């Protein structure tokens, strides 16, 4: 997940290449590095601390995880119920049969929540970023998004739980409207609703900057050339905000496929996502190799989706 975030930060950097202050600071850095060792020393210390921390607490566990994912699960063997070996058995297991369904389910929930959230967020972010008037409404929207983003995941999940139970608010409304009650808890839908609500705040906040960065004169140019509002949006605004949309989608997708608390509570045991599988493999049945394999698959899924989206975008839209 945090590698994902770095990737996205890189994205944002790429998007802001034309930022002259960023360029200036890059120049500053390089000139500092090429000067005498005395001047370089403090920087090297700082870099060393970062490298050690990153290596120890991030890279090393990751490598261990990768190694474990190729080991053989052997119930009864002390310690750790596993033996060092090189086997792809865990990956086969994870990607076939019942376990495979969990991977697909996780990806589906990620996709549905991301699409729903980005589609909802775009107009909201557009309003906040580009409307010239309605200052109060814009402030209210922005504050709502920030608040909703900052609510703790436990509070959010249990709030939705109480809303979605049989006696909850949503079903009460359904009954009042003369409709059938729906069983939400223990279904995919409940997880998607809760995730989408969280992702809307996340996506809106990350879409505001890219939308603000589109020169108003580009839209005006489009209109002066005979395009109405809709054509201007399709031909100018949308393609120019596409990098922002992709970045937002990547964050949303990565956050969702790795979500843990939401499926645990709202899935009520009926729905398990990959994180929950990883959790139970490690902490309940001590199948470390299979748990590791799932964790690696989750990580790779994030990487691959980012890579593919970025490549597609670079090819298609030259941004």
Partner 1 sequence: MSGLDVVDIHVRYGPLKVLNGVSLSVEDGRFMTLLGPSGCGKTTLLRVISGFSQPERGEIYIKGERVDQKPTYKRGIGLVFQNYALFPHMTVFDNVAYGLKMRKLSRPDIARRVKKVLELIRLSGYEDRLPRQLSGGEQQRVAMARALVIEPKILLLDEPLSNLDLKLRQHLRLEIKSIQSKTGVTTLYVTHDQMEALVMSDNIALLKNGIIQQVGTPTEIYEQPINRFVAGFVGEGNIFEGKLFQQEGSVVFLTDDELTIHVSEDRLTRIIHSDEKPVLCVRPEKISISEKSEGYVNTFQGEIEEIVYEGATVRYSVSLTPSRTILVIEQVVERAPMRALGDRVYVHWSPKNSGLVSET
Nearer to partner 1 by Cβ, of 181 and 316: the residue is 316
Nearer to partner 1 by Cβ, of 95 and 313: the residue is 313
Write down the residue that tokens 């700082």 correspond to.
46
H or E element at residue 73: strand 72-73
Nearer to partner 1 by Cβ, of 107 and 207: the residue is 207
Closest distance of CB 218 from partner 1, Å: 5
Asked whether 223 and 240 are in contact (CB, 8 A), the reply is no
Assess 109 for contact with partner 1 (CB under 8 A).
no
Asked whether 287 and 235 are in contact (CB, 8 A), the reply is no
The only residue of 240, 251, 278, 296 in contact with partner 1, by rule CB under 8 A: 240
Residue 227, CA distances (Å) to 127, 169, 216, 236 in order? 21, 46, 15, 10
# chain residues binding partner 1, by CB under 8 A: 20
The only residue of 95, 227, 268, 309 in contact with partner 1, by rule CB under 8 A: 227
Nearer to partner 1 by Cβ, of 143 and 235: the residue is 235
Closest distance of CB 193 from partner 1, Å: 35
Helix (H, G, I), strand (E, B) or coil at 39: helix
Residue 31, CA distances (Å) to 35, 43, 49, 264, 292 in order? 6, 12, 21, 51, 43
User: Rule CB under 8 A: which of 187-226 touch partner 1?
Assistant: 215, 217-218, 220-226
Nearer to partner 1 by Cβ, of 201 and 219: the residue is 219
Residues that bind partner 1 (CB under 8 A): 215, 217-218, 220-228, 231, 235-236, 239-240, 317-319
């Amino acid at each position: 997940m945090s590698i994902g975030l770095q990737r996205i930060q890189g994205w944002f950097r790429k998007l802001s290449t034309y930022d002259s202050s960023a360029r200036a600071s890059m120049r500053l850095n390089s000139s500092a590095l090429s000067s005498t060792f005395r001047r370089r020393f403090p920087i090297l210390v700082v870099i060393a601390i970062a490298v050690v921390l990153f290596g120890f607490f991030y890279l090393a566990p990751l490598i261990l995880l990768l190694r474990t994912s190729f080991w053989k699960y052997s119930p009864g063997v002390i310690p750790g119920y596993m033996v060092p070996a090189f086997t792809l058995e865990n990956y086969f297991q994870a990607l076939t049969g019942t376990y495979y369904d969990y991977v697909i389910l996780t990806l589906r929930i990620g996709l549905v929540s991301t699409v729903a959230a980005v589609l909802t967020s775009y107009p909201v972010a557009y309003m906040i970023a580009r409307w010239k008037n309605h200052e109060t409404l814009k402030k209210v929207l922005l504050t709502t998004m920030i608040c909703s983003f900052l609510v703790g995941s436990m509070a959010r999940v249990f709030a939705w739980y109480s809303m979605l139970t049989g006696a909850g608010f949503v079903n009460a409304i359904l009954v009042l409207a003369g409709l059938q009650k729906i069983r939400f808890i223990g279904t995919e839908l409940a997880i998607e609703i809760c995730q989408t609500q969280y992702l809307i705040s996340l996506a809106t906040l990350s879409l505001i900057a890219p939308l603000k960065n589109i020169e108003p004169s580009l839209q005006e140019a489009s209109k002066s050339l005979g395009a109405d509002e809709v054509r201007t949006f399709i031909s100018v605004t949308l393609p120019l905000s596409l990098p922002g949309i992709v970045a937002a989608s990547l964050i949303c997708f990565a956050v969702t496929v790795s979500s843990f608390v939401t499926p645990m509570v709202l899935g009520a045991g009926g729905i398990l996502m990959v994180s929950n599988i990883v959790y139970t493999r490690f902490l309940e049945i001590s199948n470390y190799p299979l748990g590791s394999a799932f964790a690696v698959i989750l990580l790779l899924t994030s990487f691959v989706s980012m890579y593919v989206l970025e490549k597609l975008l670079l090819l298609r839209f030259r941004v």
